[in-house]
Structure formats: C-alpha cells, structure tokens
Amino acid sequence: MPAAAAIKRLIPAGRAEFRKLVDDYQIFTVPHCAPATVAAYKSARAARDAVFVASLKGTPLLSDYRKAVADRARKDRKTFYECVQPPPPPGFTADDAVRKQREDRDQHFVDGDKQFAKIVALRDKLLAAPGD
C-alpha cells in the first residue's frame, strides 16, 4: 500500500496522464476491429490486469482508472470504427493470410504489453514515497 504522503502529493497532471494511458490501453482490451485478437489478449492478460487494478485500491488512481475505462466505453458507443483492410496483393495465398493474421496478433500482444508497462511505470512513479 502506498504511503499516505505519496497519495496526497498526486498532482493533477500525473493523474491526467495516467487516465490517458489507461484510455490508450483500451484499444488492446475492447474489441473494435479484431475481436478474436482482442479476446485472446484480454484472456491471456486477465489475471495480470486484475492484480494491477487491485493494486490501485485505496488510491485516487483507482477512480482515475475506472473513469478512463468508462469514458472510453461512452466514446466507443458513439464511434463507428472502419475495419477495412486493403485487398491482398496478387499472389497472396491462404498461407500468407494465416501468417499475416498471426503477425498482427503477435504485434497486438507486444504493443498492448508495452502500453501496460507504461501504465505500471507511471503508477509506480506517482505512488512512490518521497525518497524512493
């Protein structure tokens, strides 16, 4: 549990940055254009994400996290996502399509994990006790 002094010194700019990072992370956990990929990522990272959210308990960052998730959900309800891929190039085979889908999925995992790491790092920075 973070020190009370650390919680008191959370600055609005840091909290806003935290909400922005959480908002950006939603692209990896809310299906827009690749529901199977998002479902696989969300399933694979569910335990990690739950532990992270639990780590926010007792801090103002928990309400910031919830607000960012809720705000993104509201925006998503009003947004139409065009999920159009360009036509495959001549000679593109079924094997190529499978390989491309796997590469896209792998990249989704890499990018999602990088975004999550940014959130964790900022949480740690914001909640660090003075002198840590």
Distance between CA atoms of 24 and 127, rounded to whole angstroms?
21
Please list, in sequence order, all residues whose beta carbon lies within 8 angstroms of the beta carbon of residue 61, skipping any fewer than 6 positions away: 10, 15, 18, 123, 126, 127
> Does some domain include residue 71?
yes
Residue 132 lies inside a defined structural domain of this protein: no
Q: How many structural domains is the chain composed of?
A: 1
Q: Write the pLDDT tens digit of every residue in 115-125.
A: 999 999 999 99
Q: What is the pTM of this model?
A: 0.85
For the stretch 59-84, pLDDT in tens is: 999 999 999 999 999 998 888 888 88
Q: How far apart are CA 74 and CA 46, in angstroms?
A: 22
In a domain, 56, yes or no: yes
Range of the domain at 122: 4-81+94-127
